[in-house]
Structure 1
Amino acid sequence: MHDIFKPITASIAFTGDLKTDIKSFLEVSNCLDTATHCIDVGTECRRIALMFNANPTKAELAGWLHDISAVFPNNVRLDVARQLELEVLPEETVFPMIIHQKISRVMAKEIFDITDQDVLDAVGCHTTLRSNSSLLDKVLFVADKISWDQKGTPPYLEDLNRNLQISLTHGAFAYINFLWEKRDTLKVIHPWLRDAYEELKDKVHLV
């Protein structure tokens, strides 16, 4: 385990039950809302996985893990990423919140001993998606957007759910397109999201 993770795990008595341990890990760091959000996303991941013949166990686990990097506030995430020797893109320097997906991926592997590449990859792109995304990538991406961590109803939810009835890819693209249409108001457009948009825009016809 990387030294940067030792202070935030020192007081945790890991039980081996991943759901319990992930929830406890977040709660000990006073990330109570994130703990609830991660469990909710895990539940939504399982539901969506069963709709589209993805592995529900992997999907649920990815949901539990996706935001565990919330224990590191935005103002230290760039430093954490650099200590972990992650690639930091210019857009992530401008808007460090986005890099939390990469940090969560490393934490899932090093703290919770996750070795399944499908799960790790989904966690690592859950905010932006990416080109050539896997089935599990899209399951987590969509589940996170449905079970969002803000108050009220997401402004894109109706469109997302309507398109999800066509396919998982339609559902994912509905959210990507929502961001794309308001891109001039966003701090950054992450290149992975741009890649996903360019890949899917001519393949998916939204309803």
Structure 2
Amino acid sequence: MICSYRELGEHELTGILRNDVASFLQKHQCPKTAEHVLKVGEEARRIAVLYGADPTAAEYAGYLHDISAVFPNHVRIQVAREIGVEVLPEEEQFPMIIHQKISAYMAEDLFKITEPEILNAVGCHTTLRSKATLLDKVLFVADKMEWDQTGIPPYLEEITEQLQTSLDHAAFEYIQYLWNRRELLKVVHPWLRDAYDELRDSLNHNLGNPK
């Protein structure tokens, strides 16, 4: 079990990100996560092609988004502080959420990713955020469609249907799914709240609904 960022050490890179990420996660006993991120990378590329995002950037973001799974939940706040990542009160209360920020740091530090759009997408893939970019939304939706749980996501049919309308509709479908169950959530992350408000207002405006 890895309890400190320093314990990761060096990871040899081959220049083929898909293979490098998979071997990294397998090396640290996260084979299910390795399988998940490869599927998300493929789905992100597919969605990127549909909506005019950079397919390679989307694929890379998908591969990298959960690399922080090597740190168990109970040490993630400690790791975040060790590497200088800001910890919000909601993240301290529910450490799982901060994995998105840690993954973004690791993508740059360990896998030498320098493109801000990839790092930013990785850094908000769980919650989304206000003023989300096209790539942010691509990764967000891809991750929810290729979730890391067993079985079929309970919202998959609805997101798939909304994706035929627009990427914003698909992203909002998932956020609204959570929002309608917010009383059952351990926390409501402020970035998720911001994304909900912004997408709701934007979609209502486009429909000519002032509410």
TM-score bracket for this pair, using the shorter chain length: over 0.9
Give 2:32's aligned amino acid.
D
Cα distance, 1:15 vs structure 2: 1.5
Percent of matched pairs sharing the same residue? 59
Q: Which residue of 1 aligns with 2:8?
A: 8
Give 2:199's aligned amino acid.
L
Cα distance, 1:6 vs structure 2: 4.6
1 CA distance for matches of 2:47 and 2:138? Answer: 6
2 CA distance for matches of 1:9 and 1:50? Answer: 36
Whether 2:147 is the aligned partner of 1:153: answer no
Is residue 66–residue 105 contact of structure 1 (8 Å, CA) maintained in 2? yes
Q: Where do residues 13-162 of structure 1 align in structure 2 (5 Å cutoff)?
A: 13-162=12-161
Give 2:198's aligned amino acid.
E
1 CA distance for matches of 2:32 and 2:9? Answer: 19
Cα distance, 1:159 vs structure 2: 1.1
1 CA distance for matches of 2:97 and 2:129? Answer: 13
Cα distance, 1:85 vs structure 2: 1.3
Is residue 22–residue 65 contact of structure 1 (8 Å, CA) maintained in 2? yes
Q: Where do residues 178-189 of structure 1 align in structure 2 (5 Å cutoff)?
A: 178-189=177-188
Is residue 42–residue 63 contact of structure 1 (8 Å, CA) maintained in 2? yes
Structure 1 vs Structure 2 CA RMSD: 1.1
Cα distance, 1:5 vs structure 2: 4.1
Cα distance, 1:203 vs structure 2: 2.3
Paired positions, count: 201
Give 1:170's aligned amino acid.
H
- 5+ residue gaps in structure 1? none
1 CA distance for matches of 2:75 and 2:7? Answer: 15
SS at the partner of 2:53?
A: coil
Give 1:19's aligned amino acid.
R
- 5+ residue gaps in structure 2? 205-211
